[in-house]
Amino acid sequence: MPNLQPKKQTTDIVVIGCGSGGGVIAKELSEAGLSVVVLESGKRFNPLLHYKTYEQNFEVTASEIFQPDNPQRDLYTCEGKWFGYNRVKGVGGSTLRYIGVVPRFHESDFRVRSEDGVSDDWPISYAELEPYYTKVEYELGVSGLDDTLANPFDPPRSKPYPTPPHEFNCASKAVKRGADKLGLHLTPAPLASPTRPWNGRPSCIECGGCMFGCFVTAKSSIDVTYVRKAEATGLVDIRTQSMAREITVRPDGKAHSVIYFDAGGNEQEICASAIVVAGNAVETPRLLLLSKSGLFPEGLANSSGLVGKYFTEHLALFCDGLFSERLDTWRGNPAGGIIQDFYETNKRNNFVRGWTIEVNNGGKWPLSVASKVNGWGKEHKVRMKEVFGYLVGLASIGEQLPDIRNQVTLDHDVKDHVGIPVPKLTNEPRENDRKMMKAILRSFKAVFEASGAREMWEPKMGASAHYLGTCRMGKNPDTSVVDPWCRTHDVPNLFIADSSVFVTGAAVNPALTIMALATRTAKGIIAGFKQGVL
């Protein structure tokens, strides 16, 4: 292993990770006049150079864009047959590949224990987070509906959405027929892709390639929104392909420095007055568990023993319905309408909490559809003519209840490209999860039948790529890792700004909530510097 460089570097803040949390933190702190070094283990992508969804063969090449250069770089091990770990490393994090569905949590999501007698309540309320939701939506230029046809299940808002909603594509129009028959509410999904020019970026052109990167920079990924503003301050230094391996502490228990591998594979050390970890709900607990010391023998900030515990995913089921009418579902934005009638606990069910249905038409292009169609030669061609342009996809965002048995630990038998133990993931659906998944499938069947689908294809369990809850927030240091401002209980100048702080996962995509929490955390850090405690 290369020797540690003898010269130490210093900055006000080190941020580890440049995704939904880290990018927001960097922008907010630098605009307050603080110097920030961001360590990002991935590389920086150039939209015009790397996102070639405008090319005819993009289906062949686009999926390779975000793959690691070294297969050893992103290794992990897994217990549990159903679980898959999909993520993107790079400046922008998972927002590089997200479709941009950005709903808010509902009010009940912050008080699950009080409402339904399971899990725990958050130490903050929706009302406390609402101003930060609004601020983030206006940074991103979120599109959404605010008139009388708006989602009746939306939580209260202090301001309308910044830009109007996207028009329903043909798939969503077909599903809306069925939803209306069933008395359900299909409304436009709030999307981080403005329908009008916003903050110097163009409006969405509805090309449908969101998950492979947006070459026109209309999609509000972190790299073209928060990172641009952060770097414009001149106070932010983003170091790509720089992987943190340890956070060191001083004798008084405060965080002192980050030791990391730079792009050349050399070990470096950088000291800071405060450190923010924003890796994600897998990489953040991994780093804390790797950062053992005499003061923290079980891992940094882990006196509760809960670092890595309560690992949560969303219950993501995907199902296609085949229609008789040609809908050209490969056209337009891959995200359409959402149905949230099943969101809250229904006392008639034998389980608690609920789910959101999304009309999801990502991947309805020729090669993707061809891979789902049986037959060979002429038989396959005939079937493709019946299927291509006629398939509509539904997806669920179901709330998995936190369970202490689901966790992220270290696998000391498997090492990555720099010799560090990889994360070991354990996540199994428990009884409540299994019952909910059966109900989700029944809701899919009802919606497809009411919408006029002539076939409902075999549903598949997939990965939502929403990883949550491994460094949970709370007021009690014995039962949580961070306080309500996302500062670790054990280390007063160490903060966490990603989805690992989630107490519960709700039934919506987490990106907007990560950004809102990070904005709030940044406010607390700035106050700490002003008060002289950081």
Whether the per-residue pLDDT at 6 is higher than 60: the answer is no
**pLDDT (average), residues 333-362:** 93
Whether the per-residue pLDDT at 281 is higher than 60: the answer is yes
| CA atoms of 155 and 518, how far apart (whole Å) | 20
Structure tokens at 353: 């909490």
DSSP-assigned letter for residue 103: P
Contacts of 208 (CB under 8 A, 6+ apart): 330, 331, 332, 333, 334, 361, 362
In order of 171, 328, 338, 464, the CA distances from 168 in angstroms are 8, 13, 11, 23
% of the chain with per-residue pLDDT over 90: 77
Q: What average pLDDT does the chain have? A: 92
In order of 63, 108, 322, 401, the CA distances from 120 in angstroms are 38, 12, 41, 10
User: 328: exposed, middle or buried (C-beta count within 10 Å: 0-12, 13-18, 19+)?
Assistant: middle
Give the strand pairing for 335-339 and 186-188. Answer: antiparallel
pLDDT of residue 1: 42
pLDDT tens-digit series, residues 479-533: 999 999 999 999 999 999 999 999 999 999 999 999 999 999 999 999 999 999 9
Count the alpha carbons within 13 Å of 353 in the hemisphere toward its beta carbon: 34
> Could you report how far apart the first and last alpha carbons of the chain are, in Å?
33
User: 523: exposed, middle or buried (C-beta count within 10 Å: 0-12, 13-18, 19+)?
Assistant: middle
Q: What is the CA radius of gyration of the chain?
A: 23
| CA atoms of 396 and 392, how far apart (whole Å) | 14
What is the residue type of 72?
Q
**Contact predicate 174/359, CB 8 Å:** no
pLDDT of residue 308: 98
Helix (H) or strand (E) holding 531: helix 511-531
Structural domains in the chain, CATH included, are: 9-252+295-531 (3.50.50.60)
| CA atoms of 429 and 523, how far apart (whole Å) | 37
Whether the per-residue pLDDT at 85 is higher than 90: the answer is no
Handedness of CA 464, 469, 471, 475 (dihedral sign): positive
**pLDDT (average), residues 112-128:** 97
Angle 182-185-187 from CA coordinates, rounded to 5°: 140
pLDDT tens-digit series, residues 409-468: 999 999 998 899 999 999 988 999 999 999 999 999 999 999 999 999 988 887 778 999
DSSP-assigned letter for residue 195: S
pLDDT of residue 8: 64
DSSP-assigned letter for residue 201: B
pLDDT of residue 77: 85
Q: What does pTM read for this prediction?
A: 0.96
| CA atoms of 423 and 418, how far apart (whole Å) | 14
Residues pairing with 259 in the sheet: 246, 269
pLDDT tens-digit series, residues 384-412: 999 999 999 999 999 999 999 999 999 99
pLDDT of residue 83: 62
